[in-house]
Chain A
């Protein structure tokens, strides 16, 4: 059995980590295929070092960027998850599937996935390995039935050899395909932003970023909890009264979760516009004009939503400057993650 879970302990250990705007001196470590950054909690996904190798990661990289995964061989994972935008899709509110079919939600950024207890804006996917099944088989994304995909890949000489080399297996199963994609995505670790360098004592924040850091700590950090900048809870920001997307309630079947979505990580947030589950806001300034201010659904709004109304324009600028310090240039330029 490949999926061993250690989330209970992970949560306990994670709770020992707390947010701080002050420095903490920690030694640097060389980064192998997968390593837990010093200031991160233990990951949720049980990384299996016995099957994960350079070869499985490289195979996953090829698959991630190969349109073979879509029904008409037109789009790959990388068509909507652009590395330069921290693996989000910058140009579009919602991305387009095969034949230009529009999606329903804004393409999420991909980083630090080993720390996620569940996936998608509604948390419907419970394990990293099975995430790719959604975009691959969805009618509005790659529209490729799994059986057809496995046949297609098994008929491909390159992949037959690559899977043999990576997994020592003569046949390519969906399990191995999903493992290869998982191993590649496990290496999407963003932990070297200016903020990270600051907390590990390698650099200083500017005065304005420092001020933004304090505003963040007081207003945002409860849900956007460092170092992952999300607590993975489902939050209704209160901005809508009627819901075209049921959000978490689609999974929980509880109407009180209508319009609640998983708190998104703010890592590389300056690169991942447009914002919110449907991409309705084009800039962070626009987000701050509404987030916690426009409350239409007073019944369902999360009690932790803090109004940004009392923040002065200067304070909002500081906050945006701090969010800019979450941009990880090394991550978006890492050749090992590129096509």
Chain B
């Protein structure tokens, strides 16, 4: 009896907590019987040189710091993909946590299904992992701590991991593990990205549009400057927050195919 009462209370409390924390920024799209699919494809550009793509294991010159940087690892999270209609309503992808790994191009393309057909004007995404998923215990899939993107001693996801070598580093190496999900030290950004040239994206039953999201790993050093300022970050803090903000704020949609 006690146990049943406890369960009832726990469920009640959960319902209250859940409903009060629920994000509700827009009404759901008008129900539509037909659905379609689309892809999100993440591309990387290096610095301002659009003709030089970002690549792992290749020395890249940073025009602001003058550093030469060879990335050996570049991984980051994108989560909570939403498409917005002109009337302000959203389609929200379910369980949307995606680990981008530059070393594995299959991770850079994510397929979304069951999207109500119609015309969409913008895409919202979270760069990083939302705070709720950072405090929810053992996770699976892209959030599985097996991916080495979770800090065990200071619970939370590493939102961006950049590792490599540089002659400008005192040790010859650099390792920036950027995480932190709350307050001033948050490395998470929710961005609403417009499609280029005020374009819209139409989801229908036949086509699979590919929305290209462009990110720029050189942006990590936009405010931070040279790796000689510190070749390692392994905890949340002001430096991590600034680095992540510089990276996150640059992210844009380059094209829709």
Contacts and interface: CB of A to CB of B under 8 A. Distances in A.
Q: Which 9 A-B pairs have the closest CB atoms?
A: A129-B137, A3-B136, A133-B152, A178-B138, A3-B137, A127-B137, A129-B138, A6-B13, A126-B155
Interface residues on A, range: 35 or more
Contacts of A134: 152-153
Contact of A251 (B6, B136, B139, B154): B154
A2 B138 contact: yes
A4 B144 CA distance: 18
B137 A2 contact: yes
B50 interface: no
Contacts of B6: 35-36, 42
A130 to B, nearest CB: 6
Which of B9, B135, B137, B236 neighbours the largest number of chain A CB atoms within 10 Å of its CB? B137
A175 B140 contact: yes
Contacts of B236: 253
Nearest to B155: A126
B233 to A, nearest CB: 13
Interface of A: 1-6, 8-10, 29, 32, 35-36, 38, 42, 46-47, 49, 120, 124-130, 133-134, 137-138, 146-147, 150, 173-175, 178-179, 182, 250-251, 253
Given A9-B13, A35-B2, A42-B13, A130 B152 contact: yes
Interface string B91-112: 0000000000000000000000
Contact of B10 (A2, A46, A127): A46
Nearest to B236: A253
B2 A36 contact: yes
Nearest to B2: A29
Given A35-B3, A137-B152, A175-B144, A8 B17 contact: yes
Contact of A178 (B2, B137, B235): B137
A125 B3 CA distance: 28
Contacts of B153: 120, 124-125, 134, 138
B9 A42 contact: yes
Given A4-B18, A125-B153, A127-B155, A32 B136 contact: no
B14 A4 contact: yes
Nearest to A150: B146
Interface string B187-211: 0000000000000000000000000
Contacts of A10: 13
A32 B14 contact: no
16 contacts: A4-B18, A6-B14, A6-B17, A9-B16, A36-B6, A46-B14, A125-B152, A125-B153, A125-B154, A127-B137, A127-B155, A133-B145, A134-B152, A146-B145, A182-B137, A253-B237
Contacts of B139: 175
Contacts of A120: 153
A1 to B, nearest CB: 6
B237 A125 contact: no
B7 interface: yes
B155 A125 contact: yes
Given A3-B137, A179-B138, A253-B185, A174 B2 contact: no
Interface in B144-188: 144-146, 148, 150, 152-156, 185
A173 B138 CA distance: 10
Contacts, number: 106
Given A124-B155, A125-B155, A146-B146, A173 B13 contact: no
Interface in B220-244: 235-237
B10 A130 contact: no
A166 to B, nearest CB: 15
Nearest to B156: A126
Nearest to B237: A253
A89 to B, nearest CB: 19
Nearest to A181: B138
Contact of B137 (A42, A128, A173, A253): A128
Interface in B1-52: 1-3, 6-7, 9-10, 13-14, 16-18
Interface in B108-137: 134-137
A175 B140 CA distance: 6
A141 B13 CA distance: 37
A253 B146 CA distance: 27
Which of A32, A36, A130, A253 neighbours the largest number of chain B CB atoms within 10 Å of its CB? A130
B112 to A, nearest CB: 20
Contacts of A8: 17
Contacts of A46: 10, 14
Contacts of B152: 125, 130, 133-134, 137-138
A163 B152 CA distance: 24
A64 to B, nearest CB: 16
A179 B135 CA distance: 15
Given A8-B17, A124-B153, A174-B145, A130 B137 contact: yes
Contacts of A32: 3
A139 to B, nearest CB: 11
Contacts of B18: 4
Which of A6, A36, A38, A133 neighbours the largest number of chain B CB atoms within 10 Å of its CB? A6
Contacts of B9: 42
Contacts of B235: 253
A182 B138 CA distance: 10
A49 B137 contact: no
A5 B154 CA distance: 19
Nearest to A27: B2
Given A2-B136, A2-B138, A35-B3, A124 B154 contact: yes
